[in-house]
A and B are shown apart, each in its own frame.
Chain A
Amino acid sequence: MAEIDDTSLFQEDDHRVAYIFTPPTTSTSATSPTTTAKTTPGRPAKRRRVSKKGTPSSQRQNDGESPQCAKLRKQTYESAWPVLEQQIQTVLRDANRQTLDEVVSFFNSDAQEKEGKGRIPAGFIITGPNIAGQDLLFGQLGEALTTTGGKGARFIRLRAGEVGNLKGALKKIVREGMNTGGEGQEGEGQEGEEGAFGGEWKREGGERTVIVAFQDSEAFDTGLVGELVGLFHSWQDRIQFSVLFGIATSVELFQARLLKSTARQLYGAQFDVVQANAVLESVIMAAVAGTKARHLRIGPGLLRKLVRRQQEHVAGVGAFVSSLKYAYMNHFYANPLSVLLANDGKIDKEILQPEHLEAVRMLESFKSHVELAVEAGQLGHAQKLLDDDEYLKNQVLEQADKRQKYMESLLRSLALVTATELSKRSFIELYETALEEGISLDQSPGPFDLGDAIKRSNPEELINLIDRVVNAIEDGNPSFGLEGWASDPDAEAAIENFKELRFDVERLLAESKEKGASLKSKYSSQSKVLRTTVVAQKVQLSRDTATLTEEDNAFTEAIDAFFGFFSRIVDCEPLSSLFLHKIWQYDYHLPYEDVFVPRPGGTFARALSRPHDYLGCACCDKANGSLAGTLPATSILYHLYSEAGALINVADLWVAYYALVGEESEIGMDERSALVLFYRGLAELRAMGFVKQSKKKADHIAKLKWL
């Protein structure tokens, strides 16, 4: 309604399909959001779901934030994300590498020429149901086959959406195969296309093969595939064609759809692609948990949500990556304190403003830190934190180092835990729990519940275990970019310790072998035995501890020692216990959900049923989700609509509407005006797809939405 006034401004353009926008030269005030948005105090804050959890937001200068800081935040984002993005791309490309190699070697092998004489070589790539991920794979395939493929074949990708019929497909093949514009060839028939192709090909003197990839072969019309294959086959003596099929289901099902004669013309091999879950895990290792993600940690709650979405919806890794990116964007855009994450050296005491310190003092973790300090009797420290800005600045800036240290120790612990290969949980789960609850091998049950598994191991297993742990310390874990830390003084001692243990166990093993007994610990052997003795016709039950030899006891001690030591070096506290963790942890899932998984139905229903939520007007305050004459017409109609059955009588709807706003009601609108608004409301309901025409009865409409 606000628009009625200013429609005249650009009414001309409204009816055009598209136009190039030229900004009005004079109107600046109308569009500068800073003035319009923030100069109306005293209004109730709107409950808008898009808002950013109340943190002062915006990249541009916040109230009181210096432009320098805003710029620095942006720079930090720009330096942090691209690194990760590149890392993710590498991971994704690596994931497909094996498939690529197989496909390339299949097309280059001579074997096919012997076995499949006269038939078209065909690669069937089982991509799984996620068609979103195929683009990258086929792009890579194209690269691999055209460059490293030796023969330098031509690679043509066909998508079902792009080519509807044989002519379109041939046209595309000719165009891409020849790398010509192909614009002028319209109107030629199928033979024309074919002829053009053959002719051009000969002119080029082409010895090379042409590989045609059907990216989503299930979506193609079966007849079309058959016809194309037939054509390729008939050209086989002049041009060497090969085909690639991306298959979401299975080769058997695909073959069942093809004609037998078509199938006979193909000679193929099947290739599998790495499962989406495995890809996701490696992406998370590299980009979320890895050392490359040194600026920002995705919190466990959000991570869990993201992973669940991947598993429940077939969303593709791409969706995960954009969610990750959005989390980064959000953090650096909306959280002014993220300026503290700026690269080393750029941030100093000068940049920090009093407002920053105030914000820091508002943080939950700051409060609990101060409380802890008071409890511990460090009253001076607590006092200074609260009063002394300089002191606080120093403390805040020191956090950067502490943060790095913490992350390092967390990752090392995780590396060690995964090195034991005893945990049944996936890495993602381990990582989430580590962030949320910390790592402690004692907690049971839990993902880090390794105690039993370690203790029950036999000597050989223990030796292997120690080896693996030592290796992990020396080499780190490349999948999350962790380097070995054997040179640390602590680690040196640890390695020493492990080696001693290993030596002990080996010695014990040798000794018991000499004696001809097997070495066991009190955990592994069936140490407790129930004995039944019958004495004077009564059964007596007694527990007996199986006798352990001296070596056995020594081995038990060794196991205990190993476990104790291992759990000590693995131990790690949860992220939330850290001072100022809010600055470098992002764990809000609301913005993410709103933006990636919208619930438009609910939004529309809410706007229509409770307009007050959005308008904040005085008149509709009392309605509170129920019907009132003051509501906008569409809203009233929506209320009536939701009360109605599947078929709605417009005459009755009008009567009901008019009863609410008409002359006899409080609103007192005359009939024709009310009818105008009624018309508009009804038309809007129709435009939103809530109702449609019904022919069952005169003047009836049918309900289409049940929200």
Chain B
Amino acid sequence: MPPKKATNQKPAARTSRKRQSPSDPYEIPEEDESEAPKRRRRANVPEPDPEDEKEATNDAVVSTPSASRLKKTVATPIKLNGLNGVDTPSRRNNADRSARRKSARALVDRVISGAISDDEAEEGDIAREIYESSEDEDEEEEEEARNGDLEPTTPSKSTPGRKRKAPTSTRARKRSPTPRDLPPHEQYFYQNKPGLSKTSNNNLSSLQLLTHDEYFTLLRELAPKTPHKSDIIHLQSLHASSFPQWAFELSQGFSTCLYGYGSKRHLLHQFATYLSSHPPCEPSQTNKIVIVNGYTPSFTTREFLSVLSSAISSPPVTSLPPLLSFLSSRPKTTLTILLNSITSPSLRKSSFQSLLSTLASHPQVFFCCTSDTPDFGLLWDSALSTSFQFLFHDCTTFASFSPSELVVVDTVHELLGRKTRRVGGKEGVAFVLRSLPENAKSLFRLLVGEVLCADEDTGGQEEVAVEYRMVYNRAVEEFICSSEMAFRTLLKEFHDHQIITSHKDTLGTELLSLPFRKEELEGILEELTT
């Protein structure tokens, strides 16, 4: 969704930006007529913008000859927050390069910006007006909130109380009243309407984030006084009373899938204990139970198969057919597979799912799995589900996930876009690069520069990636490497340290990107160039 949204929002912001850009000062008088729509557009830009804009304008005009940079700084709020009108060396560097590339345009721009210094005042006025109009909107928002409408913003007061101003501008378009109690799909479309997602600019900078150590220390302290503890245990015992039923279902050739909120690892373990005394097979057969932890990130099919083969004491195998034929040749042995988290990312590949389904459909194999996400239905097409023969049971446990199942701190930091464990951001990169040869450093600097440039172009709204081929050509130009082979070797090094990521887009073009936030990238570039 975010990419979609990005495309929805970006054009709006960009058009306004273009109109606003000082490269076409002659348009400003014309725009006076069309001011109302323009203001509406600009309304999305957060408050600190105008001041910064002015500063940036001055800055740009005075210090750097590049106006193309100015054009960009105007409307990108994130950048402005970080930048605050002060040029960092990295930025200058960056801008210089971009200026070199667009030298022709810069020349024209310089002429213009030199000529129209008078216009600045006017522009400031416009900015002021825009500022007020955005306030108006905020007021209106508050009003709407007061009216009790369900406003789709993050659940906190987005605009703290502010003094009211008389509405100066007439807004051409009234927002349609926010509907209530929409069905989910309607809500989806409503909330994804372009321009509707307004969130405050608050961020977590004031909050000191948790470290692993602090998290576990506090968790241990919290553990004894957790509420609902007895309820959760009772709930689990209720599920446990269905064990005979599940065992019966397994014995009848069905597979079971337990789903619902909460960790089911403990429950599955209990079920294993139950099954070891009440095996689902015939009395004459022996049953082996294998518990598989699908949530482990290092899960491999090979390891899985090797445990299976050792469970039925067959010679080690690398593929499924020999294992199954071995099992068929020993009708007295049965195998029960209890799989935790069938929806975990490492198991989602269709090849593994079809392997599982082949396993599950074998008459001597009993298969039971759990799913921690509600989307498990999408894993199987009708052929797969026919061979799985799943019976689904609601097993909401409310039990918390163990550290092995869910690495809480990392997950949250990843959500917030802060990489902590991998290489420790800027420091980590510096550390890695220190141990690499000079041309690796140059390549990485090149890569960071390109990514930042690309980031400028896209407006910093989505994850940026640069084309592999393009980076290679640049690297050759800069004499960093002479052959693709050498280039690959350098990239491999980065890959190993997880400081770059690569993927292919829909057209099959290989793209490289850096798993860092923009601020971090700038920091890295700064460090590399000094």
A616 within 8 A of B: yes
Q: CA–CA, A14 to B295, complex, Å?
A: 9
Q: Known A183-B322, A617-B228, A645-B191; judge A31-B202 contact (CB<8 A).
A: no
- Given known pairs A57-B245, A695-B417, the reply for A20 and B311 (CB within 8 Å) is yes
B108 at the interface (CB under 8 A from A): no
Asked if A676 and B261 make an inter-chain contact with CB atoms under 8 angstroms apart, the answer reads no
Expressed in whole angstroms, the Cα–Cα distance for A644 and B158 within the complex equals 12
A residues 662-701 near B (Cβ < 8 Å) are 672-673, 675-677, 679-680, 682-684, 686-689, 691-701
> What 7 additional pairs, Cβ within 8 angstroms, besides A33-B237, A132-B383, A604-B261?
A14-B404, A131-B381, A161-B354, A646-B197, A651-B204, A653-B156, A697-B201
The answer to whether A692 touches B392, judged by C-beta atoms less than 8 angstroms apart, is no
Q: How far is the CA of A688 from the CA of B260 in the complex (A)?
A: 10
Known A33-B237, A58-B244: A608·B261 in contact at CB below 8 Å: yes
Known contacts A17-B298, A701-B415, A33 near B241 by CB under 8 Å: yes
Inter-subunit contact B414/A19 (CB<8 Å): no
In the complex, the answer to whether B392 meets A596 with C-beta atoms within 8 Å is: yes
Asked if residues A682 and B373 are in contact (CB atoms below 8 Å), the reply is no
Among B156, B244, B381, the most chain A Cβ lie within 10 Å of the Cβ of B156
Query: What per-residue 1/0 map shows which CB atoms of A1-23 lie under 8 Å from chain B?
Result: 11111110011011111111111
Point out which of A3, A601, A706 has the most chain B C-beta atoms below 10 A from its C-beta: A3
Interface residue A314 (Cβ < 8 Å from any Cβ of B): yes
Give the residues in chain B near A649, CB-CB below 8 Å.
154, 156, 199-200, 202-203
For the complex formed, measure the closest distance between the CB of A172 and the CB atoms of chain B, giving whole angstroms: 10
CB pairs A–B below 8 angstroms (6 shown): A37-B240, A216-B383, A316-B382, A326-B254, A600-B376, A691-B415
Which residue of B has the minimal Cβ distance to A46?
B238
Give the total of B residues in contact with A, Cβ under 8 Å: 137
Instruction: Chain A residues near B308: list those with CB within 8 A.
Output: 18
Q: Is A614 an interface residue (CB 8 A)?
A: yes
Report the nearest A residue to B382, measured CB to CB: A132
B207 pairs with A651, CB closer than 8 A: yes
Is B507 at the interface (CB under 8 A from chain A)? no
Which of A104-112, A317-325, A374-382 interfaces with chain B?
A: A317-325
Give the contacts of A428-460 with B (CB-CB under 8 A).
none
* Cα of A33 to Cα of B278 in the assembled complex, Å: 12
**Quick check: is A43 within 8 A (CB to CB) of the other chain?**
yes
Given contacts A616-B231, A645-B197, A695-B2, contact A601 B386 (CB under 8 A): no
**With known contacts A2-B233, A687-B372, A691-B415, A161–B155 Cβ distance under 8 A:** no
Which residue on chain A has the smallest CB distance to residue B191?
A: A646
What is A's interface to B at a CB cutoff of 8 Å?
1-7, 10-11, 13-24, 27, 30-31, 33-34, 36-38, 40, 43, 46, 48-50, 57-60, 130-132, 134-135, 161-162, 181, 183, 216, 314-316, 318-319, 322, 325-326, 329, 333, 594-596, 598, 600-601, 603-604, 607-608, 611, 614-617, 619, 630, 632, 634, 640, 643-656, 672-673, 675-677, 679-680, 682-684, 686-689, 691-707
Q: Is B421 an interface residue (CB 8 A)?
A: no
Chain B residues at the A interface, C-beta cutoff of 8 Å: 1-2, 5-6, 77-78, 81, 150, 152-156, 158, 184-185, 187-188, 191-192, 196-204, 207, 210, 214-215, 218-223, 226-229, 231-238, 240-245, 248-249, 252, 254, 259-263, 265-266, 269-270, 272-274, 276-277, 288-293, 296, 298-300, 303-304, 307-308, 310-311, 318, 322, 338, 350-351, 354, 371-377, 381-383, 385-387, 389, 391-394, 396, 398-402, 404-409, 411-412, 414-417, 461-463, 517
8 closest Cβ contacts across the A-B interface?
A645-B152, A37-B241, A652-B156, A23-B276, A598-B392, A36-B237, A132-B386, A21-B289
Please pick, from A15, A326, A680, the residue contacting B408 in the complex, using a CB distance under 8 A: A680
Q: Judging by beta carbons under 8 Å apart, are B274 and A33 in contact?
A: yes
The answer to whether A6 touches B266 (Cβ under 8 A) is yes
Which among A644, A689, A698 is the interface contact of B78 at CB below 8 angstroms?
A698
A40 to B236, CA, bound (A): 13
Of B158, B221, B223, B227, chain A has the most CB atoms within 10 Å of the CB of B227
Check if A615 sits within 8 Å of B231, measured CB to CB: yes
Contacts A7-B402, A43-B234, A614-B235; A648 near B199 (Cβ below 8 A): yes
Known: A322-B389, A695-B2. A20 touches B290 (CB 8 A): yes
Given contacts A132-B383, A598-B394, A607-B396, contact A696 B240 (CB under 8 A): no
- The minimal Cβ–Cβ distance linking B381 to chain A, given in whole angstroms, is 7
Task: With both chains docked as a complex, state the minimum distance between the C-beta of B297 and any C-beta of chain A, in angstroms.
Answer: 10
| A30, A616, A651, A702 pick with most chain B CB within 10 angstroms | A651
Q: Say yes or no: B375 contacts A21, CB within 8 Å.
A: no
Contacts A604-B374, A688-B372: A595 and B392 contacting too (C-beta < 8 A)?
A: yes
Cβ contact within 8 Å between A3 and B263: yes
Do A10 and B269 touch across chains, with their CB atoms under 8 A apart?
Answer: yes
Complex Cα distance, B400 from A18, in Å, reads 21
Assembly CA distance A700 to B417 (angstroms): 9
Taking a contact as CB atoms under 8 Å apart, the answer to whether B290 and A18 are in contact is: yes
Given contacts A1-B400, A181-B322, A706-B184, contact A603 B260 (CB under 8 A): yes
A645 to B1, CA, bound (A): 13
CB–CB B154/A652 < 8 A: yes
